Each structure stands twice: as C-alpha cells, then as structure tokens.
Structure 1
Amino acid sequence: METLFLSCLALGILFAIVSVIFGDWLSQAMEGALDFLSLEGPAFLSPMTLFGGITAFGGAGLMLTRYTSLGEWIVVLLAVLIAIALGAAVFFLYVRPMENSENSIAFTLQSLAGTLGEVTIPIPATGYGEVMIQAGAGVTNQIAASFDQQPISGDAKVVVVEVKDSVLYVSEVNLSI
C-alpha cells in the first residue's frame, strides 16, 4: 500500500513541476488535445483539482502509514477523506476564483454610452472634437460631437449620450455640487 501512496505523491509532484515549467509550452504544442478534460464535465474535475487530490491522497496515506499504527483500510479511508477535503479547498480557493478573474481590456463604442469623459479638443456646435474616456483597463480618445448642438470648450466634463456612426454624441455636465 505504501507503494501506491508513494506513486500518487510522486505523480502529483511531477504534474506540478511539469505544469509550472512547461505548462504554456505544452499547451501550445498540444493545441487543445486535452480540452476534453474540461468540456461538459463538472468544474471540480479540472486537472488542477484532480491532481491536487491525488497528491494529497498519496502524501496523507504515506504519512498515516509511517507515523500511526492505524490499520490499512482506516489509513486508506482517512487518506481519501483528506484528499477530498484538500481537493475541494484547491477548487474553492484557487480554481473557481481564477475562472472568474479573467478580465478583458476590450470595449465597444456602444458600451461607452453613459460614461463620463473630458474634452481634449474643443467641440464646435456643428462639428467634431475629441473626448478622453475611461474604457476597459485604460483610457481612450474618441471623436465626439455635441448632442445639444452647443459648443463645448476644452477640459469640460461631458457624458456620452449616444453613439452613432462611430461618433460619440456628448453633453456637457456640471459636476460641482
């Protein structure tokens, strides 16, 4: 039984080392060949969770065998329970939060409606100027026209009222309260 525990522990350690050192390279080389592991299955069966549980099973079983006088089946049962607990911890404390942490810096012009900005190039009553707006993870400068057909001076605070034909139609806002 000790051989099983040692093998599971070694497999988990090897997986961790290979993942850290060669993870990105292997992922590109295999071009999604192992994507079936995460498709249409429960999220807790991710490779990180499975190998974390296998490693915990091996390590717990090895330690319980060497440092306690418990029977073989009790050791296996306790090792399985410890593996399930640590696998769940890996899933809930690492895998699931990381799935939800992916952010995109992309934005669409339509998503800018309702956002505040600042005029960088004055906007004439019937022409075009430029506004700087917080979008995604940074700022963007976009072509703007006056929604109210009123001139808007540089450095004025504006709100995007609508977006038509890749032009932001803005109105001046007074933010002093």
Structure 2
Amino acid sequence: MDRVHVMELFGFPIHTIYLFTLVFSGILIILYVFFGDIADGIAEGSFLNPVLILAFITFLSAAGYIFEMTTSLNSVVILLIGAGIAGLLDIMLNIFVLIPLSTAEESLVYTDESLRGRLGTVLIPIPENGFGEVLIENISGRISKPALSYENTFIAEGSNVLIVEVENGVIKVIDYKEL
C-alpha cells in the first residue's frame, strides 16, 4: 500500500479488521439462514431484526474494506461513508425483500371465515347426521377439513360441495351441482 500511515485498531490495520468483520458476519448470516427459526423464537417480540443487523454489519465492513484498500481517504471518513452505504442498502433490503416476504407468508394462511362460499370436493362420504371430509384447493395449496352436511343429507365421495358455514373447525356444506 502506498499510504504513509495506516490507521490501527487493537494493534491491527483497520482494513484487516474490516476484512475479519466481513468474514465473521458472513458466517453468522449463513448460520442464521440454517438456524434462524430458533433465534426468532428466542428473540420473539424484539424490535431489532437480526437479519437487518447482520446485513448492516456486512455491508459496512465490505464498504470499509473496499474504500480502505482503494482510496486514500481518512479512516473516519471511510467509516462514515460505509455506514451511509450500509444504511441505504439495509433500508432497500428491508423494503424490497423482507417486507414482501413477510406479507407473502401471511397470505398463505386462511381463516375459517375465508372458507365460506368456496367450493370443495368430498374425499370421505358425508353420511346423514355424520362427519365426512372435504378437500379445498386454492393457489397456495390444498387443505382438507372435516365436514357435515348442512341439510343433514348424504353426500357421496367425489361430489362438489359449497361451503355454507364454518363452526369449530368443521365446515358445513351443501351438494353443489353446476348449471
């Protein structure tokens, strides 16, 4: 390096600290990908998202290392520039990746009320005054639910049914014939 004086911290050149921090935070991100569900359970209710914290540290150390190696700016200025870049990239990561992923996950969930008015197919015949099972298909997958006949009539296997009501996790259906 053609610098006359290289800033040191704890006896190490600052670019080495940036590099070690980059490697360490990269390893933590990989571990978080594999074991993140455990960490989410432990830190439930926390306002700090571990993904954003790790991403900020990674972006800061990468920017700091690159600027230390390629420019002759003061290390404090490099730290400030790196923090600005890391903050901007962190905001973009949150807005364009994490928020859409969290809402997509919620859209796969259904409520009992959302089942009313939907069509299904009888998997297990529904006897008079008895239980059967109905398969409900949608874009996100298939679910099967215990079912009762709304009119207390027999509904054969393979019949199309219309969900009229949901009560205690059991759907009440009527035989549905397409016109």
TM-score of the superposed pair, with normalisation by structure 1: 0.65
Per the TM alignment, residue 127 of structure 1 is displaced from its structure 2 partner at its CA by 3.8
Compared CA separation, residues 141 and 97, structure 1 to 2 (3 A): closer
Q: Which runs of 5+ in 2 are unaligned?
A: 1-6
SS at 2:94 equivalent: helix
Alpha-carbon RMSD: 3.8
Q: Which residue of 2 aligns with 1:15?
A: 25
Per the TM alignment, residue 86 of structure 1 is displaced from its structure 2 partner at its CA by 1.8
Q: Which residue of 1 aligns with 2:135?
A: 133
Verify the 8 A CA contact 2:160 2:175 in the aligned structure 1. Answer: yes
Per the TM alignment, residue 159 of structure 1 is displaced from its structure 2 partner at its CA by 0.6
Equivalent of 2:147, from 143, 149, 152?
143
Q: Which residue of 1 aligns with 2:52?
A: 49
Tell me the distance in 2 between the aligned counterparts of 1:170 and 1:158: 6
Tell me the distance in 2 between the aligned counterparts of 1:26 and 1:172: 43
- The letter of the residue matching 1:97 is P
Compared CA separation, residues 5 and 157, structure 1 to 2 (3 A): same
Tell me the distance in 2 between the aligned counterparts of 1:14 and 1:153: 61
Tell me the distance in 2 between the aligned counterparts of 1:152 and 1:21: 51
Q: Which residue of 2 aligns with 1:76?
A: 79
Cα deviations by residue, 1:85-125 (Å, 9 ceiling, x for unpaired): 2222332233333333435987676654322112345556x
Tell me the distance in 2 between the aligned counterparts of 1:169 and 1:6: 67
Verify the 8 A CA contact 1:9 1:54 in the aligned structure 2. Answer: no
Verify the 8 A CA contact 1:8 1:54 in the aligned structure 2. Answer: no
Per the TM alignment, residue 5 of structure 1 is displaced from its structure 2 partner at its CA by 4.8
Verify the 8 A CA contact 1:119 1:130 in the aligned structure 2. Answer: yes
The answer on 1:24 being equivalent to 2:24 is no
Aligned residues: 165
Verify the 8 A CA contact 1:61 1:79 in the aligned structure 2. Answer: yes
Q: Which runs of 5+ in 1 are unaligned?
A: none
TM-score of the superposed pair, with normalisation by structure 2: 0.65
Tell me the distance in 2 between the aligned counterparts of 1:26 and 1:166: 28
Identity of aligned residues (%): 23
Tell me the distance in 1 between the aligned counterparts of 2:98 and 2:168: 42
Verify the 8 A CA contact 2:124 2:134 in the aligned structure 1. Answer: no
Verify the 8 A CA contact 1:65 1:75 in the aligned structure 2. Answer: yes
